[in-house]
A and B are shown apart, each in its own frame.
Chain A
Amino acid sequence: MSRLATTAGALGLLLGCMGPAAPEALISTISSAHVQITSTYTGAELVVFGVIERDGRVGAQTEPYDVVVTARGPAANAVVREKVRFGPIWMNLDQRKFVDVPVTLAVLSNRPVGEITETHLRRRYRLGLEMQVGPGGTDVAWDAAFLDALLRLKRESGLYVEKPAAVTFLTPSIFQATVPVPALAPVGAYKVEVALLSGGLELARTETGFAVGKVGFEAAVARYARLHGWFYGLITVAMALVFGYTASIIFRRD
């Protein structure tokens, strides 16, 4: 209910601040700037709203619009290891490191990204899961197996999602997309890029974002563990001993 209210508010704000701009202007906003991790957190969903604003010039755009929303989590180095037969056992002997890979990634579009534009343009615009990893535009074919594995493993664990029908147009110029925040999403800043395309060419792009953070008890525990390791350790030990002792009292039979 509260999300509906915020989205309605956001939409109203959007419509209100539309003004004259380039041939095609794109305005987008997100239903919430914060995802709070509490003790019952199991993932979340945010809604991105966008408005395409056209100037009145004749023949501006005849092809239908396409929208691709890319939500990137905090970046980290990812190591992909491959098990290789070593004597009688299989061991992680081969590995590739991918620098600054988003930990989570969601690519949402109104139709499959492959249909929206051609491969070389997708690489340039960085549209689609496989275009997000590795330095944009460079050839990573020499370890394609590792890149495939990275994307496959990330997909299987739900950290990377590609939804080719998640962007829906409410009217020809207003669209919305639901951005999933997985349960395993790390805390940090998330960037949401909205790209507007037509006829395979990019017309406009906007960026918004949100933050995932721990609040309340969870935040306090994590902070305590980091700042006061000794004290935290002692509390944990005390907790363990109290439970152990209580159990021996409760169950004492002799």
Chain B
Amino acid sequence: MQIYLPIAELPVSIFLILGLGAAVGFISGMFGVGGGFLMTPLLIFIGIPPAVVVATGTAQIAASSLTGSLAYWRRRALDVKLGSVLLAGGLVGTVAGVAFFNSMRRVGQLDLVITLSYIALLGSIGSLMFVESAKALISERRGAAAPSRRAGQHPWYAFLPFRMRFHRSRLYVSVLPLLVLAFTIGFIGSVLGIGGGFLMVPALLYLFRVPTAVVIGTSLFQILFTMMAAVILHAVTNQSVDIILGIILVVGGVFGAQFGARAGKNIRGQQFRLLLALIILAVGVRFGSEIALRPDEPFSLGPQEIRP
């Protein structure tokens, strides 16, 4: 069944989009990531203009992260204080990101920026997580105790000024590195149409040693609010948010996420990280092959904008 998207200005199969939403929602529920880093490339691949994909994807991420946040909130696995600090940085980053997005679109380099950023991000994060979790799994097999967090063992940036105590996360760190982290992720998120959970989760885990239990809930909480802001900013500044596409993605996504969340409960921490790393790497390789291999068709058409 085909449905016409009024902003993207093309007809799409409603079941294809629902299926994509559900599949990405499943992964998103399983790993507590927004899933945007999978959704954006997939939608671009089926022919929806990148600008519409990025702007609309933010709405889908907002919906799925609300569902996720509520679930973690009920389990009390969410650090509101830490989330709010991250949110402050994230909002500023989002505003800057949307402005950058619009200017890149004007000069016609948006596609290249999106592709290169994906390769850099997915490649580096994926490899780091893969190596780390593989090491951990191997040492676990050998019977060695997994290195646990010891009190008083903090990296240098935790001692910058404006230190704050986060009880639920068992954290006492400066807010400055947290704000920088959140700004960066908010910026990247609004440019690439991703929530940034796949960046936020490992950053909080490895850089700040936030306990695994609260990482996902807190990350979802922060994503929820930055993505709400991103939807409105995209709608106001570039009119690329397609509400019909958004609704289909949201409906598919929320159902997928529920089943994903159930599946996720049965996976242990190390396996969880290894799996997530593999998914991230696979998407990175897909993007990488796109620009590393000799293209079948070296020519491509830029967007044609009709002057009214």
Inter-chain contact B299/A233, CB cutoff 8 Å: no
**8 Å CB contacts to A: which residues of B282-308?**
291-295, 297-307
**Alpha-carbon gap, A37 to B10, bound state (A):** 10
Once A40-B4, A240-B63, A244-B63 are accepted as A-B contacts, the answer to whether A233 and B292 lie under 8 Å apart by CB is no
**Alpha-carbon gap, A74 to B9, bound state (A):** 14
**8 Å CB contacts to B: which residues of A18-70?**
37-43
What residues on A are CB-neighbors of B305 within 8 Å? 76-77
- Of the candidate stretches A127-135, A146-154, A167-175, A200-208, the one touching chain B is A146-154
Residue in chain A with minimal CB distance to B60? A240
| Cross-chain contact of B235 among A152, A230, A243 (Cβ < 8 A) | A230
Inter-chain contact A80/B10, CB cutoff 8 Å: no
Mark interface residues in A231-250 (1 if CB within 8 Å of B CB, else 0): 01111110111011111100
CB distance from A196 to the nearest CB of B (A): 31
What residues on A are CB-neighbors of B233 within 8 Å? 233
What residues on A are CB-neighbors of B7 within 8 Å? 221-222, 225
Once A90-B294, A232-B243 are accepted as A-B contacts, the answer to whether A237 and B59 lie under 8 Å apart by CB is yes
Once A78-B301, A90-B294 are accepted as A-B contacts, the answer to whether A236 and B257 lie under 8 Å apart by CB is no
Inter-chain contact A184/B62, CB cutoff 8 Å: no
CB distance from A225 to the nearest CB of B (A): 5
Inter-chain contact B239/A229, CB cutoff 8 Å: yes
CB distance from A170 to the nearest CB of B (A): 33
Inter-chain contact B254/A243, CB cutoff 8 Å: yes
A111 beta carbon closer than 8 Å to chain B: no
What residues on A are CB-neighbors of B257 within 8 Å? 247
What residues on A are CB-neighbors of B63 within 8 Å? 240-241, 243-244, 247
- Of the candidate stretches B38-46, B67-75, B211-219, the one touching chain A is B67-75
CB distance from A69 to the nearest CB of B (A): 23
Please give me the 3 A-B residue pairs with the lowest Cβ-Cβ distance, nearest first: A233-B235, A79-B302, A244-B66
